[in-house]
């Protein structure tokens, strides 16, 4: 009976005890908040300046000249004088076809030209002789005209022989493939003993200088190119070296799939670097600014929220205050704040990752 009475007393006192515990738990956060130490933070003052847009894009290095060279006439390959990877100069002989048949035909045409030249000389002598006799009235006029006609015919035949000779000389010269520009042999597509036809690719030649950087630029930046101040390029092969570049061509035709247009840059002072066509590089476009000065804060002050909005923390009376802001352009100096912040309000740039609105803070310096 006694045990039953004790159990009943416990049941009667349980709600009171529970309320007491809950009340104590509810008071603990407030007490902890009152006793919490200020969070050390670093702040920076916004600056008022004109912000230029900075746009970074990746493209491909291309050669100004890239050709698949072909034989200039039909023939049997006798020698290939270069191989893949060889550097060549303009005018260098790269390949030779067997010239035996072409050389024999050239000799025949040379002999024919000599015959026509002799015939022309003889007709000229006869015309000169007839002209002298006609002057002395010792030679009929009709015979003079006949000799003049023979001379004209001989001259035409000699001219025809000379043209055939020149053509055969050109055919013989085309048995040698000449490098049209300086570069490197990218591919060797034939070898000695193969028969090649006219327009059959035999070698691939790529110029190493100058190099272009082809970039697909988003369509919304087409009108901002007239504000361009500077372009800096870094090759992925040598990322530590910064190069200057200039725009040499824009193709005002939008790619419907990518919504972009082609911008071609020419690299400057890259001859000392080992850059290769086909490799990637990034270009940074620095645009000029139009309009009034804007409030600029360091990038470390910007906090991004899951919903896509941005905020910064300001400090007033040693208390952190969250400010929702609208951002503008980014540059090397910082981020433009278009709305939500005045230029005389310091923003937190260190220690803002875990700050809460209204939390006590203590402004420190680097050496603190």
pLDDT digits (tens, 9 = 90+) for 294-346: 788 888 899 998 898 999 999 988 899 999 998 877 766 778 888 888 878 88
Q: Residue 290 above 60 pLDDT?
A: no
Mean pLDDT of 48-72: 83
Which CATH architecture describes the domain 39-53+292-363? Answer: Beta Barrel (2.40)
Mean pLDDT of 37-66: 83
Mean pLDDT of the chain: 83
How would residue 288 be classed by pLDDT, with cut points 50, 70 and 90?
A: low
List every span in the chain annotated with CATH 1.10.287.
101-174
Q: Residue 113 above 90 pLDDT?
A: yes
Give me the pLDDT at residue 80, please: 96
Mean pLDDT of 179-207: 94
Q: What is the CATH number of domain 101-174?
A: 1.10.287
List every span in the chain annotated with CATH 2.40.420.20.
39-53+292-363
pLDDT tens-digit map of 246-286: 888 888 787 777 788 899 998 877 666 778 888 899 998 87
Give me the pLDDT at residue 10, please: 46
Q: Residue 21 above 60 pLDDT?
A: no
SS (H, E, C) the chain: CHHHHHHHHHHHHHHHHHHHHHHHHHHHHHHHHHHCCCEEEEEECCEEECCCCEEEEEEEEEECCEEEEECCCCEEEEEECCCCCCEECCCCEEEEECCHHHHHHHHHHHHHHHHHHHHHHHHHHHHHHHHHHHHCCCCCHHHHHHHHHHHHHHHHHHHHHHHHHHHHHHHHHCCEEECCCCEEEEEECCCCCCEECCCCEEEEEECCCCEEEEEEEEHHHHHHHHHEEEEEEEECCCCCCEEEEEEEEEEEEEECCCCEEEEEEEEECCCCCCCCCCCEEEEEEEECCCCCCEEEECHHHCEECCCCCEEEEEEECCEEEEEEEEEEEECCCCEEEEECCCCCCCEEEECCCCCCCCCEEEECCCCC
Give me the pLDDT at residue 211, please: 84
The residue that leads in pLDDT, 334 or 28, is 334
Mean pLDDT of 77-91: 95
């Amino acid at each position: 009976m006694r045990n039953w009475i004790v159990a009943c007393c416990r049941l009667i006192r349980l709600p009171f005890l529970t309320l007491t515990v809950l009340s104590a738990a509810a008071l603990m956060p407030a007490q902890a908040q009152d006793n919490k130490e200020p969070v050390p933070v670093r702040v920076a003052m916004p600056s008022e300046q004109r912000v230029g847009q900075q746009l970074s894009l990746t493209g491909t290095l291309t050669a100004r000249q890239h050709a698949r060279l072909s034989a200039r006439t039909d023939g049997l390959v006798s020698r290939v004088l270069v191989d893949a990877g060889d550097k060549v100069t303009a005018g260098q002989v790269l390949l030779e076809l067997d010239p035996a048949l072409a050389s024999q035909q050239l000799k025949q045409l040379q002999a024919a030209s000599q015959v026509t030249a002799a015939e022309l000389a003889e007709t000229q002598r006869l015309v000169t002789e007839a002209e002298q006799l006609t002057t002395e009235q010792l030679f009929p006029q009709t015979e003079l005209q006949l000799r003049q006609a023979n001379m004209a015919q001989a001259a035409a035949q000699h001219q025809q022989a000379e043209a055939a000779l020149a053509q055969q000389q050109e055919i013989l010269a085309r048995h040698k493939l000449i490098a049209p520009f300086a570069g490197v042999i990218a591919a060797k597509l034939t070898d000695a003993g193969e028969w090649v036809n006219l327009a059959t690719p035999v070698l691939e030649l790529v110029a190493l200088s100058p190099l272009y950087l082809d970039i697909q630029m988003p369509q919304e930046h087409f009108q901002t190119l007239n504000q361009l101040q500077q372009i800096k390029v870094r090759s992925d092969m040598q990322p530590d070296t910064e190069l200057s570049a200039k725009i040499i061509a824009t193709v005002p035709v939008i790619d419907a799939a990518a919504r972009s247009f082609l911008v071609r840059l020419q690299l400057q002072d890259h001859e000392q670097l080992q850059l290769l066509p086909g490799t990637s590089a990034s270009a940074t476009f620095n645009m000029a600014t139009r309009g009034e000065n804007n409030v600029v804060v360091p990038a470390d002050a910007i906090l991004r929220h899951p919903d896509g909005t941005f905020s910064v923390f300001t400090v007033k009376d040693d208390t952190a205050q969250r400010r929702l802001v609208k951002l503008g352009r980014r540059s090397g100096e910082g981020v433009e704040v278009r709305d939500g912040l005045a230029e005389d309000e310091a923003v937190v740039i260190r220690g803002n990752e875990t700050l809460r609105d209204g939390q006590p803070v203590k402004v420190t310096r680097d050496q603190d």
